[in-house]
């Protein structure tokens, strides 16, 4: 009798726990770990029909990690096109690194020439604490700029442990730049509706020619205006 219980007990335990053990295995084999890692990079957000035909979008991109950022910006531009944002209503500029994003976004938002801004950058963890300080400063800085200026700022910064993670989020069907473009259009429409802002006259590019703010330049002589537009900076 004792012998048969000893024989049966392991079988009973196996029968009770086998399904959960197997399902645990199913999601934790090395190939499925890879699958879920890549899956996590895919978009998990849906968008409705977005009409961006009257929307002006600014893109501020970093030159650090240029190749990956270019892919992300391409994804963003593709989405803007699909939302009917006109080419002349897209303003693009570059800055050195992610740390420069909040102040540049603030300058562009305050210029009043765009309805939303996409920031595009890639931070890759190195050996020092640099990554942590910059990541934190950039994300809180950008949030603060959008709350202060009422201009939506899309947080287009990848914070990754390595290049593999960056590639999984910036290429093919997993290009996060596409989500950023659609988010910018949706938020620009929301802002304009909430603040009762009519579709602005002029295009983002044309308004840029006027300088940082319209009024001071308008009151200047043609020569002064010329000097102003020739001055450095992206406005």
Chosen residue from 83, 123, 207, 210 binding ligand DLZ by CB under 6 A: 123
- Would you tell me how many other CB atoms lie within 10 Å of the CB of residue 33? 11
Size of the site for ligand DLZ (CB under 6 A): 15
77-85, 92-100, 170-178, 219-227 -> range binding ligand DLZ (CB under 6 A)? 92-100
Tell me whether residue 121 or residue 152 sits nearer to ligand DLZ (CB atom): 121
C-alpha pair distances (Å), 196 with each of 80, 146, 192, 203: 22, 17, 5, 19
70-78, 118-126, 144-152, 223-231 -> range binding ligand DLZ (CB under 6 A)? 118-126
Check if 130 is active-site. yes
97 binds ligand DLZ, rule: CB under 6 A: yes
Show the binding pattern over residues 8-47: x = contacts ligand DLZ (CB under 6 A), - = does not.
----------------------------------------
The answer to whether residues 122 and 101 touch, using CB atoms and an 8 Å cutoff, is no
For 52, residues 6+ apart whose C-beta sits below 8 A from its C-beta are 80, 83, 84, 85, 185, 188, 189
64 binds ligand DLZ, rule: CB under 6 A: yes
73 binds ligand DLZ, rule: CB under 6 A: no
Show the binding pattern over residues 129-148: x = contacts ligand DLZ (CB under 6 A), - = does not.
-x---x--------------
Shortest Å, Cβ 214 to ligand DLZ: 30
For 72, residues 6+ apart whose C-beta sits below 8 A from its C-beta are 61, 120, 122, 156, 158, 170, 175, 176, 177, 180
Chosen residue from 110, 124, 137, 200 binding ligand DLZ by CB under 6 A: 124
Rounded to a whole number of angstroms, the CA Rg of the chain reads: 25
Shortest Å, Cβ 105 to ligand DLZ: 14
The answer to whether residues 185 and 52 touch, using CB atoms and an 8 Å cutoff, is yes
Q: Give me 147's structure tokens.
A: 């709350």
Shortest Å, Cβ 27 to ligand DLZ: 32
Shortest Å, Cβ 128 to ligand DLZ: 8
Chosen residue from 96, 144, 150, 216 binding ligand DLZ by CB under 6 A: 96
Element housing 78 (H / E): helix 66-82
Tell me how far apart the terminal alpha carbons of the chain are, to the nearest angstrom: 90
* Beta bridge partner(s), residue 123: 159
Reference 177, options 165, 167, 169; nearest CA is: 169
> Which residues are known catalytic residues?
130
Residues contributing to the site for ligand DLZ (CB under 6 A) = 62, 64-65, 96-100, 121-124, 126, 130, 134
């Amino acid at each position: 009798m004792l012998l048969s219980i000893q024989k049966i007990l392991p079988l009973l335990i196996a029968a009770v726990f086998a399904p959960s053990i197997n399902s645990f295995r199913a999601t934790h084999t090395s190939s499925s770990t890879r699958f879920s890692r890549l899956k996590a990079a895919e978009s998990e957000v849906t968008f409705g029909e977005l009409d961006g035909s009257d929307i002006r979008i600014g893109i501020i991109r970093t030159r650090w990690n240029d190749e990956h950022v270019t892919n992300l910006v391409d994804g963003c531009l593709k989405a803007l096109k699909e939302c009917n944002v006109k080419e002349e209503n897209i303003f693009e500029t570059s800055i050195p690194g992610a740390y420069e994003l909040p102040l540049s976004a603030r300058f562009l938002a305050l210029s009043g020439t765009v309805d939303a801004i996409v920031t595009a950058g890639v931070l890759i963890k190195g050996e020092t604490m640099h990554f942590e300080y910059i990541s934190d400063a950039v994300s809180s800085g950008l949030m603060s700029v959008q709350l202060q200026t009422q201009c939506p700022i899309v947080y287009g910064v990848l914070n990754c442990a390595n290049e593999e993670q960056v590639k999984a989020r910036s290429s093919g069907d997993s290009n996060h730049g596409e989500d950023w473009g659609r988010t910018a259009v949706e938020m620009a429409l929301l802002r304009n509706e909430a603040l009762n802002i009519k579709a602005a006259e002029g295009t983002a590019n044309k308004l840029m020619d006027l300088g940082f703010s319209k009024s001071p330049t308008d009151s200047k002589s043609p020569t002064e205006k010329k000097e102003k537009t020739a001055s450095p900076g992206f406005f």
